[in-house]
């Protein structure tokens, strides 16, 4: 144990994780030791003779188990971004240990009695607003995790939580395995027709790595998305689309159908045990939306506005398919391809001609420049900090000349890294401790001939994740459990979605949209086309997001236990919002990682909910100026630095001076 780096503070610059000496076999012994220490700390809180106070009970509990938080963050983050068979095995071993620990704390009757006494007598203490929020969060956290249950029910809850933790991990492992199991190997150059040069180059490089002739395409987003958008070979688009949609839905060891059914049944059992009608009711009690009825009303309102626009857009798509290709029916593997053709026709905007103005390095530097002007952060690449992979860059982030955060950036797909993009942290912020933040993406790789050239969607993805990173880096609270992104789930997307707005502003684009060869600024007419095209297919895109929201909610409502067939249920939920015919061999739910592996269960609506907030917030930036220091400072002061220290609507109204206007989203999307 003395040689295990995870059982002590890190003796490194800024106490950064020494990834090069951390091994999979270190985690379980370290966590066992960490848990033992934390339980001793809990026992010290419970057994003290002093009457319960905020300091000796709530604050003491907040400060306990810090190594558990640090080491579990390292483990689960590595399992997402740089996993291996050994790490997956360790994560499966660690998950029940951590779940048991959480239950040992949350179901500790003596500890809860002390918390309850402080909660019921809080008027006797002179608490700050943040301390009141922490007290309420702890009290509710115990109640919502079974503190009021009898012993038999507590035992049932422990069993459910342990099983759910393992099922969630297995679900993710299955999706990753199916994603990586498929490749499209092409040896006939004729089949590459329509594909961009950069994608062909990347596919050739992938083939060479696999010691194959020709070109290899994968289900990783930088390969899959452009293939589906540009490949003229309809049969190959179909093959790729079916492979992508089959993940977790094949007759193999990775099939997730039974796991999905088990997860939704266990979540419902857990909710009933705790006195809630459904898992959605349990989750939404602690959200801005508050109830399933409110979420449905919100989704229905957007659906009412989006459906007519989507219908017109779909008719245009079908007409184009008939006119140009004589297709009687548009299938799901045709939509991205046709949409790109129509966009080029109607807006004269070719994504491939755009990409040459978005080399990754220039976009990152431009983003840093924008953030420096808005929030005063400066970024310096570090050679002292140990990254977890050779492709990861680490930046020392300073503010007003002082160290403020570490930022890890991980941009390219590779084996052992799940698809998508996310922000996370290796260390949270709290009083006396600055955070270590990471953003992980899957962008187009550089090749021998070309640097990494981003699609415009990838540019907005980078800005999105950086908005989350700002929430973490600019956090300035006393307690880590209220810091940064530790906010209501339907508020957490506000900073990320707000940052996307700068991608459409000429004043911002001229800072980074420069030709990778000539350094020439993106032409003004191209910027105008980007802004104009921002409204493109907003109806269809909105319906797609809404379909995910409805599907998610249906899996966590009171009727969820009646679901017997995942595929049939999904078709019933999505078909009213979908114009393409159903594909029998595909199923979205079996790879819907947001809700079965991530934290979006009964919360996928949050993306659209936060869009209302971000559209309303950005209208203030547009009114005052997108680089207006006073507006940026207000956003930092009232939103980014405050984390979850107060109710999000209170924080938002302090920033904006009023409640958000839902019309702002509809105006921006061109739906009114």
Catalytic positions, please?
465
Beta pairing, strands 402-410 & 436-440: parallel
Residues 6+ positions from 302 with CB-CB distance below 8 Å: 542, 546, 608
Q: Please report the DSSP string for 77-94 in residue order.
A: HHHHHS--HHHHHHHHHH
CB atoms within 10 A of CB 536: 17
**DSSP labels for 508-564?**
HHTTT-B-TTT-PBPPHHHHHHHHHHTTTTHHHHHHHHHHHHHHHHHTTSTTGGG--
- Grouping H, G, I as helix, E, B as strand and the rest as coil, residue 121 is coil
4 contacts 30 by C-beta, under 8 angstroms: yes
543/545 Cα distance (integer angstroms)? 5
The DSSP output letter for 307 is H
Give just the sign of the alpha carbon dihedral 64, 51, 477, 469: positive
Contact assessment for residue 142 and residue 115, using Cβ atoms and an 8 Å cutoff: yes
Terminal-residue alpha carbon distance, the chain: 64
Tokens of 583: 């594909």
Measured distance CA(665)–CA(672) in Å, rounded: 9
Question: For 59, which DSSP code?
Answer: I
Report in angstroms the alpha-carbon separations of 525 from 355, 357, 504: 15, 13, 13
Q: Which residues, including other chains, have CB under 8 Å from residue 407's CB and lie 6 or more apart?
A: 379, 394, 395, 397, 437, 438, 439, 469, 473
Q: Report the run of H or E that residue 476 belongs to, with start and end.
A: none
Alpha-carbon span 213 to 28, nearest angstrom: 43
Q: What is the DSSP letter of 490?
A: T
SS3 annotation, 184-243: EEECCHHHHCCCCHHHHHHHHHHHHHCCCCCEEEECCHHHHHHHHHHCCCHHHHHHHHHH
In whole angstroms, how far apart are CA 399 and each of 190, 393, 396, 468, 475?
A: 54, 19, 10, 18, 12
By C-alpha distance, which of 278, 302, 303 is closest to 602? 278
> What is the 8-class DSSP label of residue 433?
B
> Within 13 Å of residue 35, how many CA atoms lie on the same side as its CB?
19
């Amino acid at each position: 144990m003395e040689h295990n780096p995870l059982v002590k503070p890190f003796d490194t610059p800024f106490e950064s994780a020494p990834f090069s000496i951390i091994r999979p076999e270190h985690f379980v012994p370290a966590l066992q030791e960490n848990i033992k220490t934390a339980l001793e700390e809990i026992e010290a809180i419970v057994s003290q003779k002093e009457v319960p106070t905020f300091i000796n009970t709530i604050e003491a509990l907040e400060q306990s188990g810090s190594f558990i938080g640090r080491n579990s963050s390292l483990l689960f983050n590595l399992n997402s971004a740089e996993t291996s068979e050994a790490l997956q095995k360790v994560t499966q071993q660690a998950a029940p240990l951590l779940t048991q620990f959480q239950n040992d704390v949350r179901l500790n009757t003596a500890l809860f009695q002390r918390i309850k006494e402080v909660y019921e007598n809080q008027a006797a203490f002179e608490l700050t607003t943040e301390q009141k929020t922490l007290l309420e969060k702890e009290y509710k956290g115990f109640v919502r995790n079974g503190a009021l249950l009898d012993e038999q029910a507590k035992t049932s809850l422990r069993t459910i939580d342990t099983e759910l933790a393992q099922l969630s991990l297995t679900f993710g492992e299955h999706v990753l395995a199916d994603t990586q199991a498929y490749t499209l190997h092409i040896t006939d150059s004729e089949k590459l027709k329509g594909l961009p040069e950069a994608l062909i180059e990347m596919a050739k490089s992938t083939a060479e790595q696999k010691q194959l002739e020709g070109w290899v395409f994968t289900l990783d987003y930088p390969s899959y998305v452009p293939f589906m958008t540009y490949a003229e070979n309809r049969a190959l688009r179909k093959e790729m689309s079916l492979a992508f949609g089959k993940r977790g839905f094949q007759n193999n060891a990775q099939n997730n159908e039974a796991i999905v059914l088990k997860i939704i049944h266990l979540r419902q059992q857990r909710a009933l045990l705790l006195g809630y009608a459904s898992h959605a009711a349990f989750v939404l009690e602690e959200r801005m939306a508050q109830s399933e009825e409110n979420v449905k009303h919100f989704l229905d309102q957007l659906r009412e506005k989006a459906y007519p626009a989507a219908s017109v857009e779909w008719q245009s798509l079908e007409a184009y398919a008939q006119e140009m290709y004589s297709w009687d029916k548009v299938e799901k593997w045709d939509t991205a391809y046709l949409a790109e053709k129509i966009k080029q026709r109607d807006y004269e905007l070719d994504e491939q001609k755009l990409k040459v103005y978005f080399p990754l390095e220039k976009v990152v530097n431009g983003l840093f420049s924008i953030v420096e002007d808005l929030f005063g952060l400066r970024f310096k690449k570090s050679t002292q900090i140990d990254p977890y992979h050779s492709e990861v860059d680490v930046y020392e982030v300073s503010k007003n000349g002082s160290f403020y955060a570490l930022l890890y950036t991980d941009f390219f797909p590779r084996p052992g890294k799940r698809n998508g993009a996310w922000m996370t942290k290796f260390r949270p912020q709290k009083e006396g401790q600055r955070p270590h933040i990471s953003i992980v993406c899957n962008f187009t790789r550089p090749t021998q001939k070309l640097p990494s050239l981003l699609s415009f969607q990838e540019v907005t993805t980078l800005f999105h994740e950086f908005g989350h990173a700002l929430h973490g880096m600019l956090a300035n609270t006393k307690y880590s459990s209220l810091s940064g992104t530790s906010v209501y789930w339907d508020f957490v997307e506000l900073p990320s979605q707000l940052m996307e707005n700068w991608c459409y502003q000429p004043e911002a684009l001229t800072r980074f949209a420069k030709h990778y060869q000539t350094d020439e600024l993106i032409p003004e007419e191209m910027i105008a086309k980007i802004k104009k095209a921002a409204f493109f297919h907003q109806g269809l895109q909105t319906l797609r997001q809404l379909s995910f929201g409805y599907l998610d909610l249906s899996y966590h409502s009171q009727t969820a236990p009646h679901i017997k067939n995942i595929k049939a249920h999904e078709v019933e939920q999505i078909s009213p919002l979908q114009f393409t015919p159903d594909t029998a061999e595909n199923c979205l739910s079996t790879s819907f990682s947001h809700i079965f592996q991530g934290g979006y269960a009964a919360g996928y609506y949050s993306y659209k909910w936060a869009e209302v907030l971000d559209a309303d917030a950005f209208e203030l930036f547009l009114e005052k100026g997108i680089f207006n220091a006073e507006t940026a400072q207000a956003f930092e002061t009232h939103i980014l630095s405050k984390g979850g220290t107060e109710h999000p609507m209170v924080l938002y109204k302090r920033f904006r001076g009023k409640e958000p206007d839902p019309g702002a989203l509809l105006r921006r999307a061109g739906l009114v």
